[in-house]
Amino acid sequence: MSTADELDGASVLVTGGAGFIGTHVVDALRSTADVTVLDDGSSGDLDAVPDGVACIEADVRDQAAVRAAVAEADVVVHLAAVVSVDESVADPPRSHAVTVDGTLHVLEAARDADARVVLASSAAVYGDPETVPIAEDHRQDPRSPYGLDKLAADRYARLYHDLYGVETVVLRPFNVYGPGQSAEYAGVISVFLEQARAGDPITVHGEGTQTRDFVHVEDVVDAVLLAATTDAVGEAFNVGTGASVTINELAALVRDVTGAESEIVHTDPRPGDIERSEAALTKATERLGFRPRVDLRTGLESLADRT
Ligand code: NAD
């Protein structure tokens, strides 16, 4: 039995279900579970919510709306957040209100409704790591309002489990990529693919020696489904591949899979960019059963084919 089958007939609320990761989660669940999306359309596309999936157009800052939506749910996959680091830097109070208060609204409602909460935290909670690969118990020292708000949400989820017995499972995705990701929010793979397809130079910030762990959205969906059904509640899990590439290697791979002849050029480094990132997956593999399946080249090839 697949994990999606274990949710057969369950009511699943996906906040942020009109966004990049959310639309893939909804797709994976909608044939077995009774899926509802709650989304305000701020960075996602409400028209992308498929027919047959209920869509509540609401803001997670609206506690009454969240309470009403969660009241019907067995599981809440909570993805809604201010996802842009730059936006969080420009407007920390808004990031806090959406990401922290929004999560509290979900957790409070889940406490009343006896619902499970799968929370999208982020690898941004770790900040600039002292050691790689980064395990879940690595020091957490976020470098942006986005990372700090994710850390608060992540800790609240743990606390609601410990204090009130709410079944919470926290996922910390690394760099997610895949179909439907916008280039606007600095998905570096989307940006490089756009540049390669246009025959424009591929622009690498700084020297390009910084490393990242790119995880395909299908693997993130697997992690969400596992989290929705696992016994390992009250825990946080990394969601990456356990491998990393430098941005220079990524640029060369994108050029390779697209067949583009784009030059690779270097621009100013981005302030605050971290040097190394790679997930340790021991805990997620052993406790959650998470095993990423899409290697970077295969994931990029399938994206390049989608022109
Ligand atoms: P996305 O922007 O595509 O999706 C976020 C969705 O939330 C959008 O549909 C948006 O309209 C909705 N939303 C935003 N503010 C809202 C509000 N106030 N009320 C209701 N809905 C609201 O982003 P994504 O990449 O799909 O990210 C989903 C989650 O995963 C986020 O919590 C993000 O922080 C987390 N995450 C993403 C990545 C990544 O690399 N994409 C990495 C780590 C964590």
Q: What are the pLDDT digits (tens) for 76-107? A: 999 999 999 999 999 999 999 999 999 999 99
Distance in angstroms (rounded) separating the CA atoms of residues 75 and 126: 27
3-class DSSP state of 77: strand
pLDDT confidence of residue 103: 99
Task: For ligand 1, atom 2, name the residue with the nearest CA.
Answer: 43
Q: Average per-residue pLDDT in the chain?
A: 95
Residue 183: which pLDDT band, with cuts at 50, 70 and 90?
low
Distance in angstroms (rounded) separating the CA atoms of residues 250 and 272: 20
Report how far ligand 1's centroid is from the alpha carbon of 78 (Å).
9
Question: Comparing C-alpha atoms, which of 124, 164, 135, 163 is closest to residue 274?
Answer: 124
* Pocket residues: Cβ below 6 A from ligand 1: 16, 18-22, 39-44, 59-61, 79-81, 83, 98, 102, 120, 122, 173, 175-176
**Catalytic status, residue 146:** yes
Please give the number of the atom of ligand 1 that sits closest to the Cα of 83: 34
pLDDT confidence of residue 187: 83
Helix H or strand E segment including 202: strand 202-205
pLDDT digits (tens, 9 = 90+) for 201-243: 999 999 999 999 999 999 999 999 999 999 999 999 999 999 9
DSSP 99-144: IIIHHHHHHHHHHHHT-EEEEE--GGGG-S-SSSSBPTTS----SS
pTM: 0.97
Task: For ligand 1, atom 18, name the residue with the nearest CA.
Answer: 59
Mean pLDDT of 7-35: 97
Distance in angstroms (rounded) separating the CA atoms of residues 154 and 156: 6
Report how far ligand 1's centroid is from the alpha carbon of 83 (Å).
5
pLDDT confidence of residue 3: 78
For residue 307, pLDDT over 60 is answered with: no
Question: How many other CB atoms are there within 10 angstroms of residue 64's CB atom?
Answer: 10
Angle 290-287-291 (CA atoms, 0-180°, nearest 5)?
15
Report how far ligand 1's centroid is from the alpha carbon of 120 (Å).
9
- Chain position carrying tokens 């009403």: 68
- Ligand 1 pocket, mutate which of 62, 79, 86, 118 (most atoms under 8 A from CB): 79
Mean pLDDT of 165-173: 98
Angle 72-238-11 (CA atoms, 0-180°, nearest 5)?
15
For residue 4, pLDDT over 90 is answered with: no
Mean pLDDT of 155-182: 96
Residues 6+ apart with CB under 8 A from 14: 22, 25, 26, 29, 35, 36, 37, 38, 76, 77, 79
Report how far ligand 1's centroid is from the alpha carbon of 52 (Å).
22
Burial of 9 (0-12, 13-18, 19+ CB in 10 A): exposed
